[in-house]
Structures are given as structure tokens and as C-alpha cells.
């Protein structure tokens, strides 16, 4: 390189300046190298945080953080039998819902993949934490020599089936000996087949059947997903022994259920219809196709939880992951019956995927609900996903609130009656409902009124009629002195619903005169 001399500047002066420049450039290049090296080669903050947390006994837990479950599961970590899986034979080693006792402190990137004896990964079952990590989702890894071949903790369907107290009831098991019960059962089966045949004739592949116009309806609740009635009916068809109908449904799911949807979906509806339907079909049959489908769909629902509190928003775009609250929901709130009706399915998503993130999400919801104040022990229907506070003091056991209470008692039962927190929440809520909402009309009908800031609205939606069955399934595990009371309450509520349907053409809300 040739440098032109500047007037009045000696060669020695020019040489000195060039030396300074080279020193400066050398320093600058080293700094840039250091920065880029740190960016690409050092662990990210999440990994660092998890490394340090794994060595620390107590860490502050904030609502919506990734550490919420850790505090809740300390007892389970100390007592391996504290949190067990789905109902199993007493005295046997059962397949447990490991998601309830597994610490989700291991990063998704480092989770153990499914392995064969040689250590080769068959499939990466981890969920990427962000879109930037998604490229590494399908990477195959080789286990280190000191891990051995027994590191596979993936769900084993055959082991699960062997540990059941009894096989799933259906056409091959549990046939009633009582003629009247058998007759009623066959009538229910006949009604199911009638409904299925009409759906198949007029609306096959659509989400719903319009019975009056005899055509199919897709609707806007499922984000472009099709066949909601098919997926939702899989377990019923199988249990009833309608195998031709079940096989038709299974074939449709395998060949026509397209999960590459880019529409706006209800988190609640997709969870209970599609996720719940596919999970139950898998547990009943062991068909791996159902498992593969449900894991893909479950991952698509996770972005709805990206809120300051971890309370999910009600609507999610299944393609982009963008979520928002319903336009009609007060002040952008989330709905109790929606974010409270995820627990059963998400615990099983963690079990099947060997990824604790799903359990973490729903346990965070429970943590927040236990933390905030509840008026008179009641759970209002609207909660802000931003502040974590109730938006309105409107309480209903019907629409907007209903299935939250149902999932509490079912979570307890599903855990083989070890989820004491769910049990406590359920019976405390039921006590508050009885004290504040249960009323009796002048005609002697028992009903559950709605509660608006301390003022009773003497009406009961027909969606609240599920509560009779809910109270029954929880009666045996209540206080011994209240078991018969719960059975009586359930019978009275069910009688009210029966009378309401008999006296009307099918109204959705029953109004009562205050006694």
C-alpha cells in the first residue's frame, strides 16, 4: 500500500499516526469479536437463570413466571407418592402423571429426546420457547455415554393400560345385569347413532349440523379447523361399541384433519373439543396418530399464555400465535370458565410430551386464583390477564363460570385423589355457592341464582344443570357428615332442570320468584 505524503508532515510523523491507527483498529476488532462471541456462544438468560435456580433452594416466584410450579411441587418432590397419576390399582406401581411431580426446571432445549438402545433420538418432543428456536426443534441428538439406555421417560401406553384398575368400559366390559338399565343404555346408544347418522349424511367434515336446514356449519370458533363433531365424538363412539362409526371417524381424522390453520380460534373450544377429543381417543385406543395430532395442536395454544399474569386470553390465531380477549368481555378480561377449563387436558399434554410447560401454565392459573381475594369466597366470571384482578363481581354457575368448578373436582379425582389443593378449592367454592347462591323458589324448586356485587339475580341458566352431576361425583370425598346432603342437593338441582325443560319448549334461562 502506498501512502501519499501530506504537506508539512514528516515521514516519521505519518508512521506514528499509522501505528496508533493500527493499535486502535486492533482494539476495536477485539471488542467486536468479544461482543459477537458472547452473543452467539454464551447461554441465554433463561438457561443461566435455570442453572442458578437448580442450585438454589428458595427463589422468589412471581405470577406468570416460569418458576410458579416449582413452589407448588416442593411437597411432591419430597414425597414421590404425593402427586400420582390417573386412577390406578391400589397397591400397584402406577403410571403417574409425571407432569404433576416433574420439575419443569430443565430447559426445553435440553430435554431428553425419545431414544432407542443405541442412543439415537427418534423424535424431538420438546417445544421451542420462541420462534427463533423453532429451527432446532427437529434436531437429532446423541446421548452421552454416561446417560445409559434407560433415560427414556416418554409415555408408554402399554404400561399405562396394564396399571389401570379396570379396563375402559364399553361394549366388551361392564354390561349391566339389570334389564331396565340395559334398556336405557341401549336407548342412549340408539339416540347417539341417530344423531351421528344425520351428521354424516348432511354435515360430514363440517363442525356442526344445522338440524332444521339439514346442512353443515363451520362457524368461527375453531380457527379454520374442521370436523369438531367428529373429533368430539371419537371416545363416545368407541365406548358405545359403534365400531363402524368410530372407524369412519378415525379415518377422517387421519386423512382430513388439517392442523395448519391460520384462523382465529377460541382457546376454550379448541381445547375441550379437539385436544380433549384426541387425548381421550388416544388413551382409549393407543393409536399413535391421535397422540401426534394432539401434540401439534397443543403447541399452537401456548402463545395465548403470553400475558403479564400468565392468565391466557380467550382468542388465539392458530397460525401466528397472536392472542387477544373477546370483544364483548368487560375491559379486555379473560373468562373464568375458559381459562379454568384447561387443567385436565394440559396435564396430560405434559405427560405425553414429557414437557412440563403445559402443567406449568395451568398451575400458574391456580396459583393466581389462590392468591387474589375472592368476594365471600366466590369466583367472579371476569379476570384481567394484565393486572390479575377481578373486573366485575358477577358470579354464575352457568355460562361464564360453569366448567371451572367441574374441573376442580375432576382434577382431584384424576390425580388418584392426591391433588389436595384442587380438593380444597372445590369444596371451599361449593361451600360459598351454597351460602350465597343456592335458593328455593316458592314452588319448592332448588336453584343456583347469579350474584352481582352482593345482589342476587334469581335466574339460572340451563348450562348450570351440569352442577347436579358435579355435586354427585364429589359427594363421596366431602366431609362424611355432608355426603348425604350433597346427594340431596344434586337431586334437587337436577329435578329443577327436569321440571324447567318439561314446562317449556327448551329455554336457555330459567327465572324464579324470590321466596
pLDDT of residue 452: 96
Average pLDDT over residues 466-488: 97
Q: What percent of the chain has pLDDT over 70?
A: 71
Please tell me the pTM assigned to this model.
Answer: 0.71
Residue that is written with C-alpha cell 411437597 in the block: 75
Residue pair 392/382 in contact by the 8 Å Cβ criterion: yes
Residue pair 359/72 in contact by the 8 Å Cβ criterion: no
pLDDT of residue 181: 92
Question: Is the four-CA dihedral 155, 470, 432, 375 of positive or negative sign?
Answer: positive
Residue that is written with C-alpha cell 416433574 in the block: 102
Question: What does CATH list as the number for 64-105+156-166+283-435?
Answer: 1.50.10.10
pLDDT in tens, 187-217: 999 999 999 999 999 999 999 999 999 999 9
Angle between helices 276-285 and 243-256 (to 10 degrees): 120
- Considering only CA atoms, which of 372, 514, 502, 508 is closest in space to residue 437? 514
pLDDT of residue 83: 40
- Beta carbons within 8 Å of 495's beta carbon, 6+ residues apart: 445, 446
* Element of type H or E holding 23: helix 11-41
- Considering only CA atoms, which of 348, 332, 448, 458 is closest in space to residue 398? 448
Residue pair 257/290 in contact by the 8 Å Cβ criterion: no
- Considering only CA atoms, which of 45, 81, 102, 59 is closest in space to residue 360? 102
Q: What percent of the chain has pLDDT over 90?
A: 63
Q: Is the pLDDT of residue 129 over 60?
A: no
pLDDT of residue 162: 79
87 versus 218: which is more confidently predicted?
A: 218
Weakest-pLDDT range from 13-22, 429-438, 499-508: 13-22
pLDDT in tens, 448-460: 999 999 999 999 9
pLDDT in tens, 235-293: 999 999 999 999 999 999 999 999 999 999 999 999 999 999 999 999 999 999 999 99
Using CA atoms, how far apart are residues 427 and 410, in angstroms rounded to an integer?
12
Report DSSP state, residue 391: E
* Element of type H or E holding 394: strand 394-395
Specify the 3-state DSSP secondary structure of 489. helix
pLDDT in tens, 144-172: 333 333 334 578 888 887 777 766 666 56
Residue that is written with C-alpha cell 338441582 in the block: 493
Residue pair 285/249 in contact by the 8 Å Cβ criterion: no
121 versus 173: which is more confidently predicted?
A: 173
Residue that is written with C-alpha cell 411432591 in the block: 76
- The DSSP line for 158-202 is HHHHHT-SSPPPBTTB---SSHHHHHHHHHHHHHHHHHHHHHHHH
CA dist list (Å): 4 to 13, 14, 18 = 13, 10, 13
Using CA atoms, how far apart are residues 210 and 406, in angstroms rounded to an integer?
28
CB hemisphere CA count around 118 (13 angstroms): 3
Q: Is the pLDDT of residue 179 over 70?
A: yes
* Segments of the chain assigned to CATH 1.50.10.10: 64-105+156-166+283-435
Q: Is the pLDDT of residue 119 over 80?
A: no
pLDDT of residue 142: 34
Radius of gyration of the chain (CA): 28
pLDDT of residue 30: 76
pLDDT in tens, 310-332: 999 999 999 999 999 999 999 99
Mean pLDDT of the chain: 80
pLDDT in tens, 40-89: 444 443 333 333 333 333 333 334 443 444 444 444 444 444 443 333 33
Using CA atoms, how far apart are residues 264 and 218, in angstroms rounded to an integer?
13
pLDDT of residue 34: 67
Task: Say how many residues make up the chain.
Answer: 515
pLDDT in tens, 357-408: 999 999 999 999 999 999 999 999 999 999 999 999 999 999 999 999 999 9
Using CA atoms, how far apart are residues 227 and 95, in angstroms rounded to an integer?
32
Amino acid at each position: 500500500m502506498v501512502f501519499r505524503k501530506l504537506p508539512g508532515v514528516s515521514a516519521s510523523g505519518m508512521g506514528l499516526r499509522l501505528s496508533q491507527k493500527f493499535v486502535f483498529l486492533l482494539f476495536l476488532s477485539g471488542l467486536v469479536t468479544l461482543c459477537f462471541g458472547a452473543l452467539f456462544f454464551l447461554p441465554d438468560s433463561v438457561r443461566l437463570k435455570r442453572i442458578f435456580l437448580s442450585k438454589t433452594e428458595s427463589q422468589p416466584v412471581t405470577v406468570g413466571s416460569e418458576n410458579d410450579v416449582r413452589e407448588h411441587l416442593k411437597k411432591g418432590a419430597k414425597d414421590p407418592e404425593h402427586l400420582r397419576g390417573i386412577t390406578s390399582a391400589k397397591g400397584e406401581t402406577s403410571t403417574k402423571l409425571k407432569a404433576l411431580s416433574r420439575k419443569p426446571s430443565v430447559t426445553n432445549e435440553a430435554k431428553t429426546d425419545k431414544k432407542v438402545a443405541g442412543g439415537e433420538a427418534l423424535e424431538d418432543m420438546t417445544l421451542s420457547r420462541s420462534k427463533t428456536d423453532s429451527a432446532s426443534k427437529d434436531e437429532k441428538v446423541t446421548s452421552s455415554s454416561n446417560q445409559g439406555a434407560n433415560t427414556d421417560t416418554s409415555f408408554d401406553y402399554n404400561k399405562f393400560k396394564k396399571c389401570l384398575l379396570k379396563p375402559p368400559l364399553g361394549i366388551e366390559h361392564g354390561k349391566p345385569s339389570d334389564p331396565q338399565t340395559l334398556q336405557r343404555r341401549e336407548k342412549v346408544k340408539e339416540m347417539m347413532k341417530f344423531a351421528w347418522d344425520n351428521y354424516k349424511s348432511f354435515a360430514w367434515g363440517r363442525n356442526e349440523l344445522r338440524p332444521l336446514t339439514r346442512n353443515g356449519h363451520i362457524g368461527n370458533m375453531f380457527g379454520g379447523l374442521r370436523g369438531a363433531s367428529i373429533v368430539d365424538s371419537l371416545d363416545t363412539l368407541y365406548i358405545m361399541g359403534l365400531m363402524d362409526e368410530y372407524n369412519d371417524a378415525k379415518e377422517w381424522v387421519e386423512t382430513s384433519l388439517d392442523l395448519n390453520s391460520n384462523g382465529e380460534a377460541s382457546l376454550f373450544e379448541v381445547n375441550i373439543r379437539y385436544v380433549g377429543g384426541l387425548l381421550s381417543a388416544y388413551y382409549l385406543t393407543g393409536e399413535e396418530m391421535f397422540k401426534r395430532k394432539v401434540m401439534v395442536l397443543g403447541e399452537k395454544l401456548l402463545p395465548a399464555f403470553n400475558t403479564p399474569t400468565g392468565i391466557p386470553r380467550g382468542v388465539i390465531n392458530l397460525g401466528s400465535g397472536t392472542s387477544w380477549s373477546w370483544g364483548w368481555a368487560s375491559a379486555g378480561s379473560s373468562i373464568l370458565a375458559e381459562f379454568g377449563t384447561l387443567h385436565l387436558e394440559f396435564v396430560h399434554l405434559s405427560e405425553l410430551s414429557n414437557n412440563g410447560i403445559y402443567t406449568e401454565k395451568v398451575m400458574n392459573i391456580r396459583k393466581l386464583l389462590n392468591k387474589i381475594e375472592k368476594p365471600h369466597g366466590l369466583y367472579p366470571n371476569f379476570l384481567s390477564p394484565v393486572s390479575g384482578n377481578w373486573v366485575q363481581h358477577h358470579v354464575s354457575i352457568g355460562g361464564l363460570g360453569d366448567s371451572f368448578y367441574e374441573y376442580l373436582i375432576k382434577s382431584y379425582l384424576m390425580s388418584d385423589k392426591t391433588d389436595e389443593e384442587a380438593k380444597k378449592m372445590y369444596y371451599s367454592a361449593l361451600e360459598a355457592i351454597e351460602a350465597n347462591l343456592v335458593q328455593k323458589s316458592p314452588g319448592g324448586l332448588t336453584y343456583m341464582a347469579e350474584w352481582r356485587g352482593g345482589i342476587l339475580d334469581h335466574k339460572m341458566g340451563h348450562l348450570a344443570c351440569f352442577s347436579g352431576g358435579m355435586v354427585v361425583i364429589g359427594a363421596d370425598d366431602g366431609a362424611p357428615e355432608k355426603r348425604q346432603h350433597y346427594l340431596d342437593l344434586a337431586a334437587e338441582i337436577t329435578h329443577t332442570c327436569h321440571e324447567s325443560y318439561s314446562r317449556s319448549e327448551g329455554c336457555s334461562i330459567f327465572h324464579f320468584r324470590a321466596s
